[in-house]
């Protein structure tokens, strides 16, 4: 393998200097070659590193190379070999690019054979983005077993529901046996609590067989607090920037080129080796990078190039609402990122249904202009001051196609970041939930369900983790302190009722009860979701166009909202809704030439009662 003497030469889109080819970039993680296994570690803070192989008493010296790299080629190592790196002070550390950690984050890494899995999806090219109906799930809580293999056994249910993609919450190896996934420390290793890497591949393969895409939530804005050894031997963090988790990952300071490469190769790895159809990038507003190209721009190019003959979709979570990251080219294809989770859409629908005003909801509650703007144009805030944040938020987004936004009524954050992790159906009347759900499920934005939503699962989704005693206590107390400002939790006794994130019972309470599907009212909820997603598939999806722009909206009466979008071939999709619990009904809009495709909440021929929604369609031509 050819090495890059100066890592700065490896930046593809730098605009100057020699760009390194893929073959020249130093590869992170063990490489199986004809001569044995090549072990490599980027440890510029260490003059010498040794290699420890399981079952061998002696340590093997590694050769120091330019750029802070250390290497050792071991002829008799192979798949199944367990190893660790030994630093000059005797500290044993796992491979930061470990492919599998059978003994958790502090244990040895294991060499795996990337080409051993027998894929059956050779004809799979993915699906166009406009066909996406996403289902977010946590592997550990999705089934009683909590494994990749068990999740695969539920794919027929999702295909019958009308889902076309599953989005896995982060699976990178985390400390302990249970975690939401955002405390991952070994970014290349699927957590062993869920199974081996080949089990994840089996899940992806089975999904493709059923026409389902698979996206993975990846975290490049911070590392978890337990099990990240990188700072000991590499400049992984920088004090130039701060994030909610402390010092930022070093994407633009001294030594940042190798750090960037570590992340860029990780994005390529998931797409190439695991045949994933795309990535969801967590909290990119906390990725601090003043260099050019920005890490996100480099990542989008590398990720798409990893599978040039397949659809690759890249989704952002971005509190800044930067519309520029979602721009399209003349053909409608994304220039960089496919879509962004639209928290604004959630907030306007949630507050409309529940009336909640706590925290940031105060910015949306009762604000019908934001409701209309978010439904029609994407972002509710497009540069206006957001009092809760104390600064302007967002950029104009009405010129973007609606498919540049992923909309939802529930997701892991909006449930799990509540004090007890309660779902909206636990506290909100059915008519209100179905009214707002029918808006996001049929709107031209891309809908995303959270696991169990389709049958109004009774299980909460509280925050959970499995740290050692010191960290566990900090998390437990921090969780209770976070909610102390809420009126219902100002009493210490009330705060004590907040589930302890560190207890196994909290995790177990989140596991879905699949037997509920056969019982009322869950069966009726499932039938409702299946019916409305059939309408989306048959009536809406064929007319979606990535070259379109946002819709228009009008507010009427005391609770009325009309919105309209122009779709493919001149077709027009129209929404009329009356959201609220008032007694007065909204007039039914005159719609000559429009075909009603979904009526929610009933009503007579002249008036729309509270919590009623009417979708209609006029074909073009």
Q: What is the DSSP string of 434-456?
A: HHHHHHHHHSSSEEEEETTGGGT
- Number of CB atoms found within 10 A of residue 432's CB: 21
Element of type H or E holding 527? helix 522-535
- Number of CB atoms found within 10 A of residue 1's CB: 12
**608 three-class SS:** strand
The dihedrals phi and psi of 168, each to the nearest 5 degrees, come to: -85, 130
Compute the distance between CA of residue 93 and CA of residue 115 in angstroms, rounded to an integer: 26
CB 620 within 8 A of CB 570: yes
Compute the distance between CA of residue 169 and CA of residue 584 in angstroms, rounded to an integer: 43
Compute the distance between CA of residue 296 and CA of residue 298 in angstroms, rounded to an integer: 5
Catalytic positions: 282, 317
Compute the distance between CA of residue 606 and CA of residue 288 in angstroms, rounded to an integer: 54
CB 194 within 8 A of CB 147: yes
The dihedrals phi and psi of 54, each to the nearest 5 degrees, come to: -60, 135
Residues 6+ apart with CB under 8 A from 83: 30, 39, 51, 52, 53, 54, 77, 95, 108, 109, 110, 111
Q: Name the residue with tokens 């300071």.
A: 253
**304 three-class SS:** helix
CB 143 within 8 A of CB 153: yes
Compute the distance between CA of residue 349 and CA of residue 370 in angstroms, rounded to an integer: 10
């Amino acid at each position: 393998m050819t090495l890059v003497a100066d890592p700065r030469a490896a930046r593809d889109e730098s605009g100057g200097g020699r760009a390194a080819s893929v073959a020249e970039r130093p590869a992170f993680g063990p490489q199986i070659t004809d001569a044995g296994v090549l072990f490599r570690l980027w440890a510029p803070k260490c003059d010498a590193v040794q290699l420890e192989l399981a079952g061998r008493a002696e340590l093997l010296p590694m050769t120091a190379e330019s750029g802070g790299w250390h290497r050792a080629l071991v002829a008799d190592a192979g798949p199944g070999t367990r190893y660790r790196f030994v630093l000059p002070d005797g500290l044993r550390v796992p491979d930061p690019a470990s492919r599998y950690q059978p003994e958790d984050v502090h244990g040895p890494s294991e060499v795996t054979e990337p080409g051993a899995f027998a894929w059956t999806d050779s004809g799979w090219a993915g699906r166009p983005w406009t066909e996406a109906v996403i289902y977010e799930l946590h592997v550990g809580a999705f089934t009683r077993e909590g494994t990749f293999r068990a999740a695969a056994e539920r794919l027929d249910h999702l295909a019958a529901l009308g889902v076309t993609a599953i989005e896995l919450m982060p699976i990178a190896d985390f400390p302990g046996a249970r975690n939401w996934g955002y405390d991952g420390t070994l970014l290349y290793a699927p957590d062993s609590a869920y199974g081996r890497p080949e089990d994840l591949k089996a899940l992806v393969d089975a999904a493709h067989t059923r026409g389902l895409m698979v996206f993975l939530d990846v975290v490049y804005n911070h590392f978890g607090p337990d099990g990240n050894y990188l700072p000991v031997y590499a400049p992984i963090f920088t004090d130039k920037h701060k994030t909610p988790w402390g010092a930022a990952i070093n994407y633009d300071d001294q030594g940042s080129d190798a750090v960037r490469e570590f992340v860029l190769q990780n994005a390529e790895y998931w797409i190439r080796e695991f045949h994933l159809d795309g990535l969801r990038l967590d909290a990119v507003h906390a990725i601090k990078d003043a260099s050019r190209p920005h890490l996100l721009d480099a990542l989008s190019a590398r990720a798409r190039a990893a599978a040039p003959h397949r659809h690759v979709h890249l989704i952002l979570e971005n509190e800044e609402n930067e519309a520029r990251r979602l721009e399209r080219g003349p053909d409608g294809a994304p220039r960089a990122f496919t879509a962004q989770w639209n928290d604004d859409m959630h907030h306007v629908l949630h507050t409309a249904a529940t009336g909640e005003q706590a925290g940031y909801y105060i910015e949306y509650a009762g604000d019908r202009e934001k409701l209309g703007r978010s439904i029609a144009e994407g972002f509710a805030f497009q540069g206006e001051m957001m009092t809760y944040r104390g600064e302007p938020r967002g950029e104009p987004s009405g010129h973007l196609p609606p498919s540049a936004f992923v909309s939802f009524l529930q997701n892991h954050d909006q449930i799990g970041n509540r004090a007890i992790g309660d779902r909206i159906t636990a506290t909100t009347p059915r008519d209100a939930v179905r009214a707002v759900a029918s808006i996001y499920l049929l709107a031209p934005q891309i809908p995303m369900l959270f696991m169990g939503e389709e049958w109004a699962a009774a299980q909460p989704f509280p925050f959970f983790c499995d740290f050692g005693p010191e960290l566990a206590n900090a998390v437990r107390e921090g969780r209770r302190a976070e909610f102390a400002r809420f009126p219902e939790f100002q009493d210490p006794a009330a705060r004590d009722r907040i589930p302890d994130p560190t207890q196994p019972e909290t995790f177990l309470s989140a596991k879905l009860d699949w037997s509920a599907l056969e019982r009322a009212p869950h069966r009726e909820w499932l039938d409702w979701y299946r019916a409305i997603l059939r309408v989306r598939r048959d009536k809406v999806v064929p007319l979606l166009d990535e070259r379109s722009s946002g819709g228009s909206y009008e507010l009427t009466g005391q609770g009325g909202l009309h919105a309209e979008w122009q779709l493919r071939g001149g077709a027009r999709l129209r929404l009329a809704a009356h959201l609220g619990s008032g007694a007065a009904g909204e007039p039914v809009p005159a719609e000559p030439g429009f075909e009603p495709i979904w009526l929610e909440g009933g009503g007579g021929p002249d008036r729309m009662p509270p919590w009623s929604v009417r979708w209609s369609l006029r074909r073009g031509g």
